[in-house]
Copies of this chain bind each other. A is one copy, B any other.
Amino acid sequence: MRRLDFTNTQVASSETARDINRSVLLNLIRRKQPISRADLARVSGLQRSTVSLITEQLIDESWVINGPTGRLPRGRRPTFLRLNENRAILVADIRPAQITVALADVNGQFLEQVAFPTPSDAAAGAQKISSRLRDLMRSHSKLVFEGVGISLPGRFEPVSKRIIFAPNLKWRDFDLKRSLERSTGLRVEMENAANACVLAEVWFGHAEKIRDMVVVTVSEGIGSGIFLNGQLMRGAHGMAGEFGHVSLDPAGPPCTCGRRGCWEVYASNRAGLRYYAEKNGDSNAISFQELMSRANSSDSAAIHALEKMARALGRGMRMLVAGLAPEEIVVVGEVTSQWSRLEPLLTAELGEGVLFGKPPRIRPAEGIMARLRGSVALVLQGEFGVAVPEAAKAAVAVNGR
């Protein structure tokens, strides 16, 4: 007899339709609030009766509340629905030098925010984060806390969530998730920083209909978050996105990763500083912020360094354009404050690098605190489902007729 694999395939039950439509409506309310039930029906294509039932359920669950009534030229006034702001999300952004802990509502608005230097020891870091989180919970006791979202510059094992790679951080092999879950009593979600930026754009940015996008984070190194088919691509072991460590020139300068000529060797903040030092002969270490302010004061060596960095950034992006054909490339990092200097160089490099078809739009990240906002989305994903309607469309159309 043949052997069969009994790990069940995912099938649909009677409630599947409700789950999908609930998710669709919840996301529409989030995006278009305040919005009436009638408009929800029109926008979604669902029947008004169905919309009423589902919104009633959402109000029962206190995700949504009835707002004020609207005003129309004729007819009964609509009741506007909006998200219940008393649902709160705790987030933390771990960076090599500094950790930021914040409290946000379901709309990604921040209510409070604290920062402190990053401890070198993972356990001490976890301790400090959870202490701040509990402070926030205590001082906002009226809120309902939905969970904790963490962004960090590293990778972790997808199942156990143990941190397995964070070169700039030194928190190797630590189970941050479990540690925080025990100390806060809340669900904890973790995500790589570049991926968090993708979520921030998709959830809180204006690029609602974008299905294919790449985020490039520029700081000490270069990271990337890959968003294709309306979904975040994490790769086989959550490791996708390390385009920063692709070698552009086998004979280039050595990289921290051990190889030579990696993209980030040419295009990271560190590269900018190196270019400046080379040109200037000045061996005094300055910060990247200082480099940018010198460029703003017309320091030609600083300007030259930033421009060289921008061109390198564009050169590496060609790889993303050729390989992934995104509709948009979003740049995250301090360097975006120099956008007017950056942008023409990037588009020049990219225009040249594009084989055919439209070159992608290239733009800086929307708003500040992409990583923190992305962490908010990370937590909400559990309840709201996929934020991009297009992704849900692909999902529903499993049977593609």
Interface residues in chain A, defined as those with a beta carbon under 8 Å from any beta carbon in chain B: 2, 4-6, 8-14, 16-24, 28, 32, 35, 39, 42-46, 155, 164-165, 211-212, 224, 226, 228-229, 231, 233-243, 245-250, 257, 259, 315, 318-319, 322-327, 352-353, 355-358, 360, 381-386, 389, 391-401
Q: Knowing that A10-B397, A11-B21, A241-B325 are A-B contacts, what are 7 other residue pairs whose CB atoms are under 8 Å apart, sorted by A's residue number?
A: A10-B393, A155-B357, A233-B233, A238-B325, A245-B355, A382-B401, A396-B398
A297, B330: Cα distance in complex, Å: 53
Are B396 and A394 interface neighbours, CB within 8 A? no
Closest to A237 in B: B357
Are B323 and A243 interface neighbours, CB within 8 A? yes
A247–chain B nearest beta-carbon distance, Å? 7
Given contacts A239-B356, A240-B324, A389-B10, contact A4 B395 (CB under 8 A): no
Closest to A319 in B: B246
A315, B246: Cα distance in complex, Å: 10
* This chain's copy number in the assembly: 2
Are B401 and A10 interface neighbours, CB within 8 A? no
Are A396 and B10 interface neighbours, CB within 8 A? yes
A394, B10: Cα distance in complex, Å: 9
- On chain B, the residues within 8 Å of A32 by CB distance are 2, 4
- Which one, B17, B242, B243, contacts A17 given CB within 8 A? B17
A51–chain B nearest beta-carbon distance, Å? 10
Given contacts A319-B319, A394-B395, contact A164 B356 (CB under 8 A): yes
Are A323 and B326 interface neighbours, CB within 8 A? no
Are B393 and A4 interface neighbours, CB within 8 A? no
A16, B239: Cα distance in complex, Å: 34
- On chain B, the residues within 8 Å of A211 by CB distance are 236
- On chain B, the residues within 8 Å of A382 by CB distance are 400-401
A326–chain B nearest beta-carbon distance, Å? 6
- On chain B, the residues within 8 Å of A322 by CB distance are 242-243, 245-246
Are B326 and A235 interface neighbours, CB within 8 A? yes
The 4 tightest CB contacts between A and B, nearest first, are A235-B325, A395-B395, A8-B45, A10-B393
A192, B233: Cα distance in complex, Å: 22
A385, B241: Cα distance in complex, Å: 28
- Which one, B12, B242, B324, contacts A20 given CB within 8 A? B12
Closest to A19 in B: B399
Are A10 and B392 interface neighbours, CB within 8 A? yes
Q: List 22 A-B contacts (CB under 8 A).
A: A9-B392, A10-B393, A10-B397, A12-B17, A12-B18, A16-B16, A16-B396, A229-B234, A233-B233, A233-B324, A234-B325, A235-B326, A236-B357, A236-B358, A243-B319, A245-B355, A248-B250, A259-B352, A384-B399, A385-B397, A386-B398, A386-B400
A274–chain B nearest beta-carbon distance, Å? 19
- On chain B, the residues within 8 Å of A381 by CB distance are 400
- On chain B, the residues within 8 Å of A6 by CB distance are 42-43
A400, B250: Cα distance in complex, Å: 43
A44, B324: Cα distance in complex, Å: 34
- On chain B, the residues within 8 Å of A235 by CB distance are 212, 228, 324-326
- On chain B, the residues within 8 Å of A228 by CB distance are 226, 228, 233, 235, 240
A252–chain B nearest beta-carbon distance, Å? 10
A381, B399: Cα distance in complex, Å: 8
Given contacts A4-B43, A235-B324, A250-B248, contact A16 B20 (CB under 8 A): yes
